[in-house]
Amino acid sequence: MDLPIFQIDAFIREDSRLYSGNPAAVIPLREWLSDEQMQAIAAENNLSETTFFVTTEDNRYHLRWFTPSTEVDLCGHATLATAHVIHQILNDQRDVIPMTCQVGEISVAVRADEDDVRYELNFPARAPETVSGKRLLNKVEKILGQKIVSLHRSRDLIAVLENEDAVLNCTPDFAAMRALECFALAVTTDKNTLGKDFISRFFAPAQGIDEDPVTGSSFCSLAPLWAEKLGKSELSARQCSARGGDIDLTNCEEGVAIAGKTFHYMQGVIRLPD
Which of the residues are catalytic?
49
Q: Which residues touch 273 (CB under 8 Å, ≥6 apart)?
A: 1
What are the φ/ψ torsions at residue 213 (nearest 5 degrees)? -60, -50
**CA 177 → CA 43, 76, 79, 135, 210, distances in Å?**
22, 22, 27, 15, 9
In the chain, the amino acid numbered 94 is: R
Question: Which of 92, 74, 72 is closest to 83 using CA atoms?
Answer: 92
Q: Give the Cα separation of 62 and 100 in Å (integer).
A: 5
